Amino acid sequence: MNKPKLLKVYYCTECAELEVKTATPKIRGCKMSSFHKWIILGERGPDKYLCDNCGIKVNTNDIPTEIGCRKGTSHKWTKI
């Protein structure tokens, strides 16, 4: 039996691009740096969160991680 792979929300701390993948996305193609610098914000899920600082919106299971905000010291998530 194959266990379904969990989709995770990846975020590049250099260019703020978002990718939803089961594994780390390609590091090439970053607009702000030589390579994307991906961090995992959380597991893909039904809840929608908005960062009050940088304005990105993500769909996750739980409150996304706070690190990597480009407009402040940390993301400030509000459930929407």
- Site residues, Zn ion (CB under 5 A): 12, 14-15, 30, 36, 51, 53-54, 69, 75
Residues with Cβ within 8 Å of 58's Cβ and at least 6 positions away in sequence, in order, are: 9, 11, 18, 41, 42, 48, 49, 64
Q: How far is the CB of 3 from Zn ion (least distance, A)?
A: 30
Least distance (Å) from Zn ion to the CB of residue 40?
14
Instruction: Report the residue number, 3 or 40, with the smaller CB distance to Zn ion.
Output: 40
**Listed residue (52, 80, 70) closest to 11, CA to CA:** 70
Which of 9, 69 has the CB closer to Zn ion? 69
Nearer to Zn ion, 2 or 73 (CB): 73
